Amino acid sequence: MVQFCWSGVTGAMMARMGGWLMALSSVPRGDLQGGQAALSSCILSQRERPRPSFAQENMMRRYAFATAVALAAAISVWTVAVQAAPAATSEAAAAWSAYDQGDYVAAAPSLRRLAEAGDGEAQAAMGWMYEKGLGVKADGEAAWSWRRRAAQSGEARAQYAYATNGFSLQMISRAESLKWLRKSAGQGYAPAQFELGKAYARGLGLKRDDAQAVALFSKAAGQGYPRAQVALGQMYESGRTVEPSKAIARDWYLRAGLQGDPEAQARLGDLASRAVSVRAYDRTYDTPDPLEAARWFALSGDRQATDLAMRRMTPDEAASVRAAVRDWRPRPEWTPGRVFNWEEALIVKEAQEVTQTEDPGALSNPTLATIAAAEADLDFARARKLARAGAEAGDPAAQSWLARMDLEGISGPRDLRASRDWMRRASTQGHAASQIELAVQLQQPGIYQPGVPDPEALAESYFWAQIADANPSSSQDQRFFAKRLVSDLSGRLTPDAAADARRRAAAWKAQPEGVRPAPPAA
């Protein structure tokens, strides 16, 4: 009876500590409630019971001491847990803040701890950081391991990254990629819904099913994802599965175009240049409108179409187009989240380009600043004169700019040979961006040579890609792209041709022309 009463006292003490202590104590809730009842019974019967013996009192003291120690330990554990939780939350917040600001070195240690603890988003971030060498040493195997763990954690964006990156890098099959796209799309992630819809629309690894494609595009477009809005507009414009409706197609193009999607803006420009009704800027155009077309072409970044449209305008019309483009601001519906893969990086880069007004004065090269200012004002003729003056004076950046103008036929006829020659001159001086672009153009049919690229063009492309990869002035993105290009081209060359290109690249040295002051453009 003495032992029973003492357990009642202990249970009552613990009951008064509150519900939070129950989780830390080994005493079940039933014992606590029973302890209170036993205590009441014990107190009421104190006068009826004989005084406990010395041995019994000694036992009761030991039991009380053990109980106090257990309670103190439980309270200590709870205190440490309560204090550690805010610290862990603060550490995670600081890590993600550093990641979002691009301070990957500061973010890496904490994100690694979060990832190892099973955080799917942190695992996806570690995969991206290891793939690109952001804050950690680039490691393809580690990147892939973290991507797999992140996808298996159930995080929708990680599943999307695993599916798209894995297939593009030939690490997983198309069937495996589609499996993970389904998982991500099933959680409502708009980019995954778009990619899965594209697979149905084109029959990529799946039986072609336009109805499924429209359903998936609609879900993603409804969330404001601009690429899905453009795809859905195309379905309505062509009448695939749905009733043809240019009005609905225009509405979807407009929603995407107002967000800054360049493909949607180019399609709106094309519609405005033809006898098709186009609603924009709260107006409806029922006849071809070259001014409206020029506005959309300029916003899309299609310099060639903009230049052609502007050539046929009066000075006042050109001024109105410039004013409209200068004052335009995007109206985003969908905001890209954190970057976890290459595809998302491109999307974010496009979003940043259309939401940030370029300040030509911020360019470190004064020649480029003046060229950029002229192009920003849609004065392509002056931009071309400035670019030519700088290129002939030996400025590699101006040479690269003029090469692109020749390639696209900006303010002059398209001249592929001149474009290639200017690009080679800039590349020979060590201009990293030109080296990358020259490598890309040489290995693509129909750019600098008709039909399928000949072996010599592929070998030269391989040569410049290696030089760009080793160029100390290459940016992280440029070097990453150069490595992928080298990997792709190595399988398209004969062993002898590849070895010869590597030998020449290893011995290559930049040959600066010596920039001379460029005369002012007229």
Percent of the chain with pLDDT over 70: 72
Q: What is the pTM of this model?
A: 0.63
Pair 291, 321: CB distance under 8 Å: yes
d(C-alpha 196, C-alpha 212), whole Å: 9
Beta bridge partners of residue 284, listed in sequence order: 279
d(C-alpha 259, C-alpha 268), whole Å: 13
Residue-wise pLDDT tens digits, 192-240: 999 999 999 999 999 999 999 999 999 999 999 999 999 999 999 888 8
Q: Which residues, 6 or more positions from 512, have their beta carbon under 8 angstroms from its beta carbon?
A: 394, 429, 430
d(C-alpha 190, C-alpha 220), whole Å: 4
Q: Which residues, 6 or more positions from 255, have their beta carbon under 8 angstroms from its beta carbon?
A: 221, 224, 226, 229, 264, 333
d(C-alpha 121, C-alpha 114), whole Å: 9
520: enclosing H helix or E strand: none
Tokens of 415: 């001249």
Beta bridge partners of residue 280, listed in sequence order: 283
d(C-alpha 224, C-alpha 335), whole Å: 9
Q: How far is CA 82 from the centre of its chain?
A: 36
d(C-alpha 400, C-alpha 521), whole Å: 18
Task: State the chain's maximal CA–CA distance in angstroms.
Answer: 118
Pair 340, 371: CB distance under 8 Å: no
Axis crossing angle, helix 416-428 with helix 432-442, rounded to the nearest 10:
140
Burial of 286 (0-12, 13-18, 19+ CB in 10 A): exposed
Q: Which residues, 6 or more positions from 125, have their beta carbon under 8 angstroms from its beta carbon?
A: 99, 107, 111, 115, 338, 340
The full set of domain ranges for the chain reads 245-279+286-323, 343-349+364-510
Q: Which residues, 6 or more positions from 442, have their beta carbon under 8 angstroms from its beta carbon?
A: 448, 449, 453, 457, 458, 460, 461, 464
Question: What is the four-CA torsion angle of 283, 288, 289, 290, rounded to 10 degrees?
Answer: 160
Q: Is 314 helix (H, G, I), strand (E, B) or coil?
A: coil
Pair 156, 164: CB distance under 8 Å: no
Q: Which fold is adopted by the domain 343-349+364-510?
A: 1.25.40
User: What's the number of CA atoms in the CB half-sphere (13 Å) around residue 83?
Assistant: 6
If you write DSSP's letter for every residue of 306-365 in order, what string do you get?
A: HHHHHHTS-HHHHHHHHHHHHH-----S-------SHHHHHHHHHHHHHHS---GGG-SS
Tokens 């900006």, residue located = 410
Can you give the C-alpha Rg of the chain in angstroms? Answer: 34
Q: Which of left, alpha, beta for 137 (phi over 0: left; psi -120 to 50: alpha)? A: beta
Q: How far is CA 259 from the centre of its chain?
A: 17
277: enclosing H helix or E strand: none
Q: For every one of its 522 residues, what pLDDT tens digit does the chain have, with 9 covering 90 and above?
A: 344 344 443 444 443 344 433 333 333 444 444 444 544 554 444 445 555 555 555 565 555 555 655 555 555 555 544 454 455 578 889 989 999 888 999 999 999 999 999 999 899 999 888 988 889 998 988 988 998 999 999 989 889 988 988 887 778 899 999 999 999 999 999 999 999 999 999 999 999 999 999 999 999 999 999 999 999 999 998 888 888 888 898 899 999 999 999 999 999 988 888 754 444 444 444 557 888 889 999 898 888 888 888 888 888 998 899 889 888 999 989 877 776 765 554 444 444 443 333 444 444 577 788 888 888 778 888 899 999 999 999 999 999 999 988 888 888 888 888 998 999 999 999 999 999 989 888 887 655 555 566 788 889 999 999 999 999 988 877 888 889 889 888 888 899 999 999 999 999 999 998 755 554 544
* Distances 482 to 8, 130, 478 between C-alpha atoms, Å: 76, 17, 6
